[in-house]
Structure 1
Amino acid sequence: MSFAGPFPDVRIPDAGLHEFLFTGLSPADRRRVALTAAESGEQLTYASLVASIDAFARELAAAGVGAGDVVALLHPNAPAFAVGFHGIIRSGAIVTTINVLATGPEIAKQLTAAKAMLLVTSRAFLPQAEEAVRSAGLDKAAIVLLDGERPAYDPSGHPVAVDTRLEPAERIAVLPFSSGTTSEPKGVMLTHRNLVANVTQIAPLLDLRANDVVLAVLPFFHIYGMTVLMNSALAARSRIVTMTRFDLTGFLETVQRHRVTYVFIAPPVAVALAKHPLVDDYNLSSLRMMVSGAAPLEEELGTTVSKRLSVPVVQGFGMTELSPVSHLVPTADGGASIAGRRAPIAASGWPVPNTVNKLVNPATGAEIGVPADGLSEPGELWVRGPNVMAGYLGNADATAETVDADGFLHTGDLARVDSTGCVYIVDRIKELIKYKGYQVPPAELEALLLTHPAIADAAVIGIPDADGEEIPKAFVVTADETLTAHEVMTFVAAQVAPYKKVRAVAFLTAIPKSPAGKILRKNLRNPIG
């Protein structure tokens, strides 16, 4: 039995992302500050943002970028990210965003997979950018620096030419990469309609306002930061204050100095806010709302943060393939009640407007209905709506495995639903390890470990550390008994982004596998005997 949320459907504009966000700015909106860099104080008004986007789109066009081309963006949170991202979109091209922690080889892999023709970045990332373009077979001229010299912007110049032959539902806008349980990441094709739809779907639930000051510490290169922070706040004409990275002192100082009203976090930030004594030294009274996503937030942790900061805390759920938000607790009135009950902090939320859900028993395929009372049994969560991706780049088989013939995307997450249609994520069916909001595919680490001459076999699972954070743990069969855990961790750390590092190691005589050769991870989590 399918079910929907209690919210009325919304009208989704038939427009491209740039047109949707920036057409029809009022004189008052044009004067508003759109983005402020916490570190440098650099500011862009909405008028200067649009002018900069147009200028960068012209620059890309002069470099030969056109409709359907792919341009990569490697840049931390800053006003320049919005210029680069929306300049690429404005030019008619597709933007593939890259994790700023990625190494040169990891960047090169994404450039190659996406068939990117340019890499837009900043001087701080030149070493890995140059290594990546060489490895990907691109010329050094393929690097475009956002903090380099810009061609002078001529406001009387010709308008940016955009190919309008494709409809928003057909034209791909962004190509983020989401790794599955295989070692090869998959490019997620999200259309202009996907992104416009998701901003429109969540707008009445987020209740972002033009007078809100939104702290953007979660990365824009990730779909959470891209849609929920950057694009949703721009659509609401809010002011975004960017931070290039999270550190607790900087976070607290920024909230206090800029009188931040609205914060999006992931659970590791909640841990710091709940436990660190430094929090009490700052005036955080400007905060009116805190939304957590990217990984499940425990009820006790969320409650502690809410009480300590005197701010409502609500949660949402989504995934890259859903643009990303599929479930959200409304933020109005500190988490609006539905059918007479207020959602607990642990709730992932109700289905967003214009979507339909199913819960399906992953073992039997039987559909699980909404209960009359209490919580349903767990089932795999399926979602259908205008925010469902167009598919995986060049991977029709993976697309067909994820999105069925009826348009339901199979999330790979176990969930329960209550009598009001509110969804609670229980556990992941897929084997991805989520470390500090990032996704770490075990197979990628296993393949890397097997390149070590002293390692005969390996498996990786996620385990909780002392703070409840999920970390990668490697189980290693060694061909050399002198190999140490430290050597294993150092070997991996030298070749991957920091969030992918193996942080615990155990040595075994054999990796448990099925007759077909599949690693039996459940035996590693719950060893027998």
Structure 2
Amino acid sequence: MFTSPYPDVDIPDLSIFDYLFGEIEDTDLDRVAVVDGATGAATSYRTLIDQINRIAGALAARGVAPGTVVGLLCPNIPAFASVFHGILRAGGTVTTINSLYTPQEIQRQLEDSGAELLLTVSPLLGGARSAARSAGIDDERVIVLDGAAGHPSLADLLAQGADAPRVSFDPATHVAVLPYSSGTTGRPKGVRLSHRNLVANVQQARDLIGVVQDDRVLALLPFFHIYGMTVLLNLAFKQRAALVTMAKFDFAEFLRIIQDQRCSYVFIAPPIAVAIAKHPLVESYDLTSVHTVLSGAAPLSGELAAAVSTRLGCRVLQGYGMTEASPVSHLIPIDAPQLSRASVGVTVPNMQCRLVSTETGEEIPVPADGVSEPGELLVRGPNVMLGYLNNDDATLDTIDAEGFLHTGDIATVGAGGEVTIVDRSKELIKYKGYQIAPAELEALLLTHPHISDAAVIGVMDADGQEIPKAFVVVVAEASVHGDHVIAFVADRVAPHKKVRLVEFIDVIPKSSSGKILRKDLRVRHAEAAATAAEVTRRLGR
């Protein structure tokens, strides 16, 4: 077992609201808390806290109390912060919903979580209203923050003037949020995270991440995802920094907001790192305010991290975690420049980790020198979820009898505690007994000057062997052939790791947090294979 090189931190026995705002200094109340990146409109901590309290009072008057689940379907706008914490302040549980979901997916989450109200915005109202009605939530309990006929609005909640209720619950057991796991390897499941889970993870990560009150933090990554919820929304507020919101991704707008708002700390996922490293538009903006970029949600190669660092003249860090861990379990700390940018850094305080063999289940020891053998990463700590909602079997499959969360990710650990993620155990390709990590091949493909994005999955060949297939996005106007891509990889890897099939694609499908949706690519391949087989059958007639 290995732990953090940093000492354990104290975890207050508080609700997330009391932890973030309960002891705010008078001198911080008039600091900027949130900035609307689109308009530049700013909200102070004083105003934010007042809004949270008034929203809590208005929701309590509508029956929200400990045990009530409230759906929140909203992009990254300043109102998200007020409403999210208003629900928690009233003792409710927030289930955050992906803004890209279809009405059927919204309905499924509302029903599965048991949500009794839904808060959304007018651009998403069509799907939200349809889903809510199907889930048994009437229009009066669908609150449209920016206003819509037949629905209460945020202005209505604030104008009600109700005092925040006095609520009492155990922060260690009361479910604060119900985000849903990304579904990259299966059907999304509700993840039960307590107030203590959320408080713990901010405490564990805050000093290592190094956001300070003078930072202006760009909030592009969605708040509905645990990465944005903890590392942006909650951590930035705890540090009294200014959070600059961005409702949807547009690369030019991303660059403009950094320039105009002088953003200093930028959190991204690897696809954005690719654009920063390669897109010519970067040269048209003044990005000198950025001192740190932190990437998470999917593996970032050392080469890509170096390219971003060189282009922006800033430090590039990487973190790792899971929704089930609130999410951060590992980080490259801001004060640890000696760590490899290809690693995910070290274990955060108050956590214990193990590596176990995927073949034998035996524990892999931490080496005295060098790097360990790869194995599945297991983590345990105060940030690990209470369990999955209404799914005891999945919980038991994920958290063992000793309280270790089985991440499903393959990692190595160095003698100094530095952890590197190799790949998802379920995504490893096994070719003639060899294990091949898709992330390794993807990182290599991204070094090609004419490839802007790539993903690799395992598919079956005619002999029943699982082989690597690359899906490749080509730089505009470049001419690249499949044989060229295969040769490019073959020249740089061991023979068993060669890419053996290539398909060109317009966009690599990814979740909102930046993870490659390999299951979508598997479906695409299967459909193409079925079509080809049918054509062959007809020609054979």
1:151 and 2:150 aligned:
no
Q: Which residue of 1 aligns with 2:496?
A: none
1:213 aligned partner: 216
- The answer as to whether partners of 2:34 and 2:244 remain within 8 angstroms in 1 is yes
Paired residues for 1:57-136 under 5 Å: 57-136=56-135
Corresponding residue number in structure 1 for 2:357: 361
Match status 1:40 vs 2:39: yes
Q: TM-score, normalised by structure 2?
A: 0.79
Q: List per-residue Cα deviations over 1:137-156 (Å, max 9, x = no partner).
A: 2212221112234237579x
**Matched residue, 1:225:** 228
Say if 1:98 and 1:221, in contact at 8 Å, map to a contact too: yes
Check conservation: 1:194, 1:387, Cα contact below 8 A. Answer: yes
Alpha carbons of structure 1 residues 462 and 71: separation in structure 2 relative to 1, 3 Å:
farther
State the AA in 1 paired with 2:361: G
Question: AA paired with 1:347?
Answer: S
1:243 to 2:246 alignment:
yes
Deviation per residue, 1:504-529 (Å, 9 max, x gap)? 44544699xxxxxxxxxxxxxxxxxx
Q: Which aligned pairs between 1:317-396 and structure 2 lie closer than 5 A?
A: 317-332=320-335, 336-337=336-337, 342-396=338-392
Structure 1 counterpart of 2:38, which letter? E
Paired residue secondary structure (1:31): coil
What is the CA–CA distance in structure 2 between the aligned matches of 1:421 and 1:167, rounded to whole Å?
34
2:330·2:347 contact (CA, 8 Å) conserved in 1?
yes
The CA deviation string for residues 82-131 of structure 1, in whole angstroms up to 9 with x for no partner, is 01110110110000000000011110000000000011001111100111
Which of the numbers 463, 466, 485 marks the counterpart of 2:473?
466
Report if the CA contact (8 A) 1:181-1:430 is conserved.
Answer: no
Q: Distance in 2 between matches of 1:499 and 1:287?
A: 27
User: Which AA in structure 1 matches 2:165?
Assistant: A
Match of 2:488 in 1: none
CA contact (8 A) 1:17 1:192 kept: yes
Q: 409, 416, 419: which one pairs with 1:420?
A: 416
- Residues of 2 paired with 1:380 and 1:421: CA distance? 15
Greater shift, 132-141 or 356-365, is seen at 132-141
Q: Distance in 1 between matches of 2:226 and 2:184?
A: 19
Q: How does 1:261-340 map to 2 (within 5 A)?
A: 261-332=264-335, 336-337=336-337
Deviations 1:249-292 (A, max 9, x none): 11111111111110001000001100011111111111111100
CA distance in structure 1 between the partners assigned to 2:84 and 2:397 by the alignment: 30
**One-letter amino acid matched to 2:156:** P
What TM-score do the two structures reach when normalised by structure 1? Answer: 0.81
Match of 2:46, SS state, is helix
User: Over residues 328-363 of structure 1, what are the superposed CA-to-partner deviations in whole Å (9 max), with x where a residue is unaligned?
Assistant: 01013xxx15xxxx1111011100000000000021
Return the alpha-carbon distance in structure 2 between the equivalents of residues 12 and 406 of structure 1: 21
Residues 16 and 198, structure 2, Cα contact 8 Å, conserved in 1: yes
Structure 1 residues 226 and 129: CA distance shift in structure 2, 3 A: same
AA partner of residue 163 (structure 1): V
Cα deviation, residue 27, structure 1: 1.9
Aligned residue for 1:34, secondary structure, equals: strand
Equivalent residue for 2:165, pick from 155, 161, 165: 161
CA contact (8 A) 1:169 1:193 kept: yes
Unpaired runs of 5+ residues, structure 2, are 148-152, 429-437, 443-454, 458-465, 476-505, 533-541
Number of paired residues? 454
Unaligned stretches of 5+ residues in structure 1:
443-458, 469-488, 512-529
CA spacing shift, 1:147–1:467, aligned 2, 3 Å: same
Tell me which amino acid in the other structure corresponds to 1:428. R
- The one-letter code sitting in structure 2 at the alignment partner of 1:397 is D
Within 5 Å, give how 1:506-525 maps onto structure 2. Answer: 506=526, 507-508=528-529
Kept in 2: contact 1:67–1:162 (CA 8 A): no
- Residue in 2 aligned with 1:25? 24
AA aligned to 1:121 is T
Q: CA offset at residue 162 of structure 1?
A: 3.6
Distance (whole Å) between structure 1 residues aligned to residue 366 and residue 373 of structure 2: 10
- In structure 2, distance between residues paired with 1:37 and 1:179: 27
Shift of 1:61: 1.1
Q: Secondary structure at the match of 2:318?
A: strand
- In the TM superposition, residue 431 of structure 1 has moved relative to its aligned partner by 4.7
The alpha carbon displacement at 1:364 in A equals 0.6
Q: CA deviation at 1:184?
A: 3.2
Please state whether the residue corresponding to 1:368 is helix, strand or coil: coil
| Mapped contact 2:54–2:163 kept (Cα < 8 A) | no
Q: Distance in 1 between matches of 2:263 and 2:365?
A: 41
* CA–CA separation in structure 2 for the residues paired with 1:325 and 1:509: 41
Task: Report sequence identity in percent.
Answer: 50
Inter-partner Cα distance in structure 1 for 2:202 and 2:37: 25
1:15 alignment partner in structure 2 = 14
SS at match of 1:116: coil
1:499 Cα offset (Å): 8.7
Q: Secondary structure at the match of 1:465?
A: strand
Measured in 2, the distance between the counterparts of 1:188 and 1:378 equals: 27
1:481 maps to none
Taking only aligned residues, the RMSD between alpha carbons, in angstroms, comes to: 2.8
Counterpart-to-counterpart distance in 1, 2:3 and 2:185: 32
